[in-house]
Amino acid sequence: MDIPKQYDPKQAELHHYERWETAGYFAPEINKDPNAPVFTIVIPPPNVTGSLHMGHALQHTIMDVMTRHKRMTGYRTLWLPGMDHAGISTQLMVNRELKKEGKNRHDLGREKFVERVWKWKADSGGQITVQMRREGASVDWSHERFTMDEDLSRAVREVFVRLYEDGMIYRGNRIVNWCPQDQTVLSDLEVDKAPQAGKLFYLQYPVKGSDRRITVATTRPETMLGDTAVAVNPNDERFRDLVGATVQLPLTNRDIPVIADEYVDMEFGTGAVKITPAHDPNDYEMGLRHKLPEVVVIDQFAKMTKDAGDRFAGLDRYKAREKVVEEFEQVGLLEKVIDYEFSISRCERCKTVIEPLISTQWFMRMDGLRDLALELMSEKHKPAFVPEVPYERIYTNWLENLRDWTISRQLWWGHQIPAWYTKNGEVVVARSEAEARAKAGTSDLIQDQDVLDTWFSSALWPFSTLGWPNVTEDLKTFYPSSVLVTARDIIFLWVSRMVMMGAKFMGREPFDDVFITGTILDSQGQRMSKTKMNGVDPVEVFDKYGVDATRLTLAQVGTTDIRWNEKQVESYRNFANKIWNAARFCLLNSEGASVDAGLLVLGPQASSPAPMSSQAQVGNTAGDVTYGPSIHDRWIISRLNKTAISVNQALAAYQFHEAVQTLYHFFWDDFCDWYIELTKNDVTGEEATQQRNNARSRVITVLEQALRLLHPFMPYITEELWQRLPGVGKQSLHPAYADAEPTIMLAAYPAGDTSLIDEEAEWEMQATIDLISRVRNIRSEMNIKPGERVRVLVGAPDERLRSVYNSAGAQISRLVRASEISISDRLEAPRASARAVLVGGAELAVPLEGLIDFDQERQRLRREQEKLQSEATKLEAQLQNSNFVERAPAERVAEVRNRIADIAQRTSQLQQTIENLQ
């Protein structure tokens, strides 16, 4: 058999995915057990414009680990993929294309433009679906959905109509975030706020009928043209007499009142605020309170209107700012200008500065929906956030302070609002134009030109993708989903809205749990972003280290923020190579052997022979009777079962880091470093004896179980190797998948069996490991050449220990390169020996005639003694404390006493040894 010495991830990544996909292994229908429990995840739909970034790779890895684990455990699993139409992003993308052709969307007109977007999607959208296949994501592509699919669009219209009929959607005039570039309204969540250096202008307004002036401070002088009041705090002594007065608004011929409002902060600026209800959200609110007129001086293109006055009309807002300041200076009303840093709002997509404008938009009333979500949390504790702290509170606090949601957008790409207007301006909301005509009693209707916020359709994702409003089999089977995996920055934008919509239209939460992943930062601790150019491309990492190594790195990120560290991936690349070579060893020694779970049951309870390796436990048939199992055989089975139990527990608790660590150490430390080494003598025998073949079968069976355990994390290498193992086949599959062709992804996940945990074997094995480590330590410290053989003398008063050492004698000799090993009840060794103290009062000596430096040896032993002594000192101090002895659990106190006794024995043995060296 020809197996390369190095694992080549690309080779393994080439074929398996396609086979899994075309064979239908990802689809829930592959599971033939009618009573199988169900596990569902809906993917957070990436933007159709997007390509894979680290955040996706992280989320997908975690979702895939869970899905593959559940699938192997026998669940009917659905991981539903799809994409979001991403209104603004996509429209921008196509706009840019048009620009290159010297056109804009208005040249095409709405219909042609939308066609063009669909064409763009067909040609170059959905890069990410290719990358997801590379990742190994076991999503069911037959369930792939797009938020603009006809079915999903129908769900959108249905929800809109029902909410409208319930009075929860309304049309109104409000101040909104307006993007002058994209020509659309934006929700608060689509606006980026960032501090920026600017200036604060102090403007003086003359008070009528007096020679006083009142000074207001502003960062946006151009808006003064639309001022309709000056506000002061009612408790402010400085302005008390001015409340009710009239001021002459400079550069205009308007008179405006001085009003009093609690909102005004006396400490800030001059304590007097100019009020521009049409161009500032807070002023707008105040305007409503005081019934102030709204003078619109800036239009939707951020240019000044004619109401700004003839001199300003048509000017860009920043030009107008300069001119206003200039004119104030000329008339001597500019008091001062100071440098001032304030935060400025920009469009999240195009980065243009937002202009607050009053405009007619559609809104969703959130109070009722909010209450439904809060009720789910308080009464059913759904959804359960992982980690619960701090996300549950962040989520509920936000809900409690929720404002109405602006749902209309002035875009062409998206779900056009299902509202029609008659000639008389009547509004008809309907599921279709036909229904609208019937309702209105006329066919002379014009549909609202706006589309819905992209997040409107995303909010329906957990049920719209399953066929709602039809009550389909999918909907009945897979709703609610089991867990949502996402990043923390869309808890409000998306998670909360799905919960509200799920509660409203499905009557229950859309998912049981919400797993919030950590954030992957760059090596400087900065967030990765396109603008900073500090992102790491997951595909490049795949190419360099392999998908499996990258997945392992990402899986252990879990919920904590971490700095990206390529060294970690490299280390898991090495781990993959270790797996490869362990398998290589097994395969090179596999003649006459076969995977057989029966060989793994070696305990006294081994019972009837019934080969059922597909059972989700590590075998259950009679073991090797002819040639009794060795300690290391019993030991590795114990370790394997402990590992399986621990990994299952960790996964159930979303402890991915724990699961990865457990698997890593089981495979590398227990299986490779000890088990393979200890079993090598038997496995590499020249003669094809039953004993050799059993040993071969056993090691290959342990390997097979380990590959299953690793599969959810490392799908490619495990499948690649598993396919090569002798003895795997249909019988390896979980019973629910009995019809499928053999694949590790449908094999039964080892559950672990507590009855196969063998503490006795673990203790005995530990004694052996201890002995080997001691001899190696001596070799190393005494600078004994690797090729040089040593004699090992062991004295063990305990009979059990002697038998342990005896039975492992050959392996020990091999691993410490001993020429001979002699075990007796009392150590008798030449004076010129290096010595060590072992467990249970046993001692060890390595005769080093002519090699030993007595001084050096004494020092080595004293260091050993000191280590023990300092530990003993601490423990004794604990025992001195009567409170500890009285109050700590008896078990704990006993532990300390035992340890002290053990140390005392070792110390005195060491003392003896040192004295004998004199």
Which residues in the 73-132 window bind RNA by CB under 7 A? Answer: none
Which of 563, 730, 789, 800 is in the footprint of RNA by CB under 7 A? 563
- Strand pairing report for 246-248 and 255-260: antiparallel
- Report how many residues bind RNA under the rule CB under 7 A: 91
**Binding piece for RNA, criterion CB under 7 A, among 85-93, 257-265, 356-364, 509-517:** 257-265
Find the shortest distance in angstroms from Cβ 229 to RNA. Answer: 12
Peptide bond into 356 cis (omega under 30): no
Phi-psi category of residue 314: left, alpha or beta, with phi > 0 → left and psi -120 to 50 → alpha: left
Peptide bond into 383 cis (omega under 30): yes
Residue 529 interacting with RNA (CB under 7 A):
no
Closer residue to RNA (CB): 76 or 632:
632
**Binding piece for RNA, criterion CB under 7 A, among 106-114, 155-163, 270-278, 315-323:** 270-278
Residue 325 interacting with RNA (CB under 7 A):
no
Which of 608, 626, 883, 918 is in the footprint of RNA by CB under 7 A? 883
Closer residue to RNA (CB): 61 or 556:
556
Residue 5 interacting with RNA (CB under 7 A):
yes
Find the shortest distance in angstroms from Cβ 793 to RNA. Answer: 19
Which of 242, 273, 602, 837 is in the footprint of RNA by CB under 7 A? 273
Q: Interface mask (CB under 7 A) for RNA, residues 355-394, using x and -?
A: ----------------------------------xx--xx
Sign of the torsion angle spanned by Cα atoms 403, 409, 414, 416? positive
Closer residue to RNA (CB): 321 or 573:
573
SS (H, E, C) 349-370: CCCCECEEEEEEEEEECCHHHH
Closer residue to RNA (CB): 489 or 591:
489
Q: Interface mask (CB under 7 A) for RNA, residues 504-523, using x and -?
A: -----------------x--
Find the shortest distance in angstroms from Cβ 795 to RNA. Answer: 21
- 895-914 residues in contact with RNA (CB under 7 A) are 899
Which of 773, 822, 905, 907 is in the footprint of RNA by CB under 7 A? 773
Closer residue to RNA (CB): 146 or 201:
201
Phi, psi of 818 (to 5 degrees): -100, 145
Find the shortest distance in angstroms from Cβ 584 to RNA. Answer: 4
To which H or E segment does residue 483 belong?
A: strand 481-486
Find the shortest distance in angstroms from Cβ 694 to RNA. Answer: 19
Those residues whose C-beta lies under 8 Å from the C-beta of residue 871, and which sit 6 or more positions away, are 899, 903
- Please report where in the chains the tokens 């396609």 appear, as a residue: 18
- Please report where in the chains the tokens 């309204």 appear, as a residue: 185
Sign of the torsion angle spanned by Cα atoms 286, 292, 297, 298? positive
- Please report where in the chains the tokens 């795949």 appear, as a residue: 542
Find the shortest distance in angstroms from Cβ 565 to RNA. Answer: 4
Task: Determine contact, residues 179/237, Cβ cutoff 8 Å.
Answer: no
Find the shortest distance in angstroms from Cβ 33 to RNA. Answer: 35
- 390-409 residues in contact with RNA (CB under 7 A) are 390, 393-394, 398, 401
Closer residue to RNA (CB): 103 or 817:
817
Token readout for 763 is 């203790």
Amino acid at site 65: V
Closer residue to RNA (CB): 82 or 715:
715
Find the shortest distance in angstroms from Cβ 101 to RNA. Answer: 37
Task: Determine contact, residues 563/521, Cβ cutoff 8 Å.
Answer: yes
Closer residue to RNA (CB): 274 or 321:
274
- Strand pairing report for 520-521 and 562-563: parallel
Phi, psi of 233 (to 5 degrees): -80, 135
Find the shortest distance in angstroms from Cβ 264 to RNA. Answer: 4
Find the shortest distance in angstroms from Cβ 889 to RNA. Answer: 6
**Binding piece for RNA, criterion CB under 7 A, among 157-165, 496-504, 557-565, 618-626:** 557-565
Closer residue to RNA (CB): 556 or 613:
556
**Spatial distance between the Cα atoms of 683 and 811, rounded to a whole number of angstroms:** 12
Phi, psi of 848 (to 5 degrees): -135, 55
Q: Which of 383, 669, 587 is nearest to 503 (CA)?
A: 383
Closer residue to RNA (CB): 574 or 615:
574
Residue 318 interacting with RNA (CB under 7 A):
no
Token readout for 514 is 């919400």
Closer residue to RNA (CB): 581 or 822:
581
Closer residue to RNA (CB): 472 or 878:
878
Q: Which of 296, 175, 159, 176 is nearest to 226 (CA)?
A: 296
**Spatial distance between the Cα atoms of 879 and 842, rounded to a whole number of angstroms:** 27
- 784-803 residues in contact with RNA (CB under 7 A) are 785-786
Find the shortest distance in angstroms from Cβ 716 to RNA. Answer: 13
- At 194 the three-state DSSP class reads strand
Which of 161, 225, 249, 264 is in the footprint of RNA by CB under 7 A? 264
**Spatial distance between the Cα atoms of 166 and 158, rounded to a whole number of angstroms:** 12
Residue 567 interacting with RNA (CB under 7 A):
yes
**Spatial distance between the Cα atoms of 311 and 300, rounded to a whole number of angstroms:** 19
Residue 561 interacting with RNA (CB under 7 A):
yes
Residue 868 interacting with RNA (CB under 7 A):
no
Residue 525 interacting with RNA (CB under 7 A):
yes
Find the shortest distance in angstroms from Cβ 775 to RNA. Answer: 9
Token readout for 660 is 């990865």
Which of 1, 6, 400, 799 is in the footprint of RNA by CB under 7 A? 6
Number of C-beta neighbours around residue 681 at 10 A: 15
Residue 673 interacting with RNA (CB under 7 A):
yes
Residue 779 interacting with RNA (CB under 7 A):
yes
Sign of the torsion angle spanned by Cα atoms 190, 194, 197, 200? positive
- Please report where in the chains the tokens 């604060």 appear, as a residue: 200
- 647-666 residues in contact with RNA (CB under 7 A) are 657-658, 661, 664-665
Find the shortest distance in angstroms from Cβ 395 to RNA. Answer: 10
Residue 781 interacting with RNA (CB under 7 A):
yes
- Please report where in the chains the tokens 């056109």 appear, as a residue: 103
Give the angle subtended at the CA of 292 by the CAs of 286 and 296, to the nearest 5°: 100
Those residues whose C-beta lies under 8 Å from the C-beta of residue 905, and which sit 6 or more positions away, are 841
Task: Determine contact, residues 414/451, Cβ cutoff 8 Å.
Answer: yes
Find the shortest distance in angstroms from Cβ 398 to RNA. Answer: 7
Closer residue to RNA (CB): 200 or 296:
200
- 187-216 residues in contact with RNA (CB under 7 A) are 188, 193, 195, 200, 216
Residue 543 interacting with RNA (CB under 7 A):
no
Residue 707 interacting with RNA (CB under 7 A):
no
- 580-639 residues in contact with RNA (CB under 7 A) are 581-582, 584-585, 588
- 822-861 residues in contact with RNA (CB under 7 A) are none
Find the shortest distance in angstroms from Cβ 275 to RNA. Answer: 8
Those residues whose C-beta lies under 8 Å from the C-beta of residue 473, and which sit 6 or more positions away, are none
**Spatial distance between the Cα atoms of 762 and 587, rounded to a whole number of angstroms:** 27
- 449-488 residues in contact with RNA (CB under 7 A) are 488
Which of 210, 343, 529, 690 is in the footprint of RNA by CB under 7 A? 343
Phi, psi of 837 (to 5 degrees): -105, 135
Closer residue to RNA (CB): 268 or 318:
268
Give the angle subtended at the CA of 342 by the CAs of 235 and 177, to the nearest 5°: 90
Q: Which of 120, 96, 176 is nearest to 453 (CA)?
A: 176
